Structure 1
Amino acid sequence: TQPTQLMNFDPSTMQWATSSPVPSTFIGALIISIVAGYLVKWMNQKIQLPDFLLAFKTTFLLPILSAIFVMLAMYYVITPFGGWINGGIRTVLTAAGEKGALMYAMGIAAAT
């Protein structure tokens, strides 16, 4: 599958243009899931509201804030970083030539 096309404004031509980000795939998902979990735990401890707003905090406020954080972190931090890692892995495996497929399979097997 292809990653979602991003809309970027080009000020030199004063037009919107689409671009494809480098997918961060599994590595990015793993990183952001760990960060998001600790973020929600931290926010739950730091955001103090009266008892009558506890349901609001746990069902609305924390999910909205964490979703906004995850969206921004994925767009500006994780996707470029994960794409950089994936590009490096792809370069190493491509340079390995015929043995690259074997190394790739061993890497996948070791990661799972």
Structure 2
Amino acid sequence: MWQLPLHTGATPWTRLTTILIPSFAPRKLFHVGTDVSTEEALTNASEILSSALQTAYQSAENPDSSQSPVIMGLAQLIENAQTLVDAVLERDFPTDTPGEK
């Protein structure tokens, strides 16, 4: 559904942007079930980030790509996010390492 100006004092710019920008309610395409624990959600997020990082590295290795620096920048952001997720997992849900107590 497209929005139309609701007031008569609209300037040409507000009239144009109001008419050209569609109005719609955002839909959720992805839902995390209420039965998913924090640990499970963070573990899954870490696995997704790991896959995204591998994809970024493989894409950056393409010798024909002029986007390699951009892709490497994205890889760094993914690594940062993965480090945050992994740190929270280790802090809040430590894994038992043999020999440690």
TM above 0.5, yes or no, is no
Bin of the TM-score, shorter chain as denominator length: 0.3 to 0.5
TM-score for the superposition, normalised by structure 2: 0.33
Which of the pair is proportionally richer in strand?
A: 1
Structure with max Cα Rg: 2
TM-score for the superposition, normalised by structure 1: 0.31
Which of the pair is proportionally richer in helix?
A: 1
Relative contact order, higher structure (CA 8 A, sep 6+) = 1
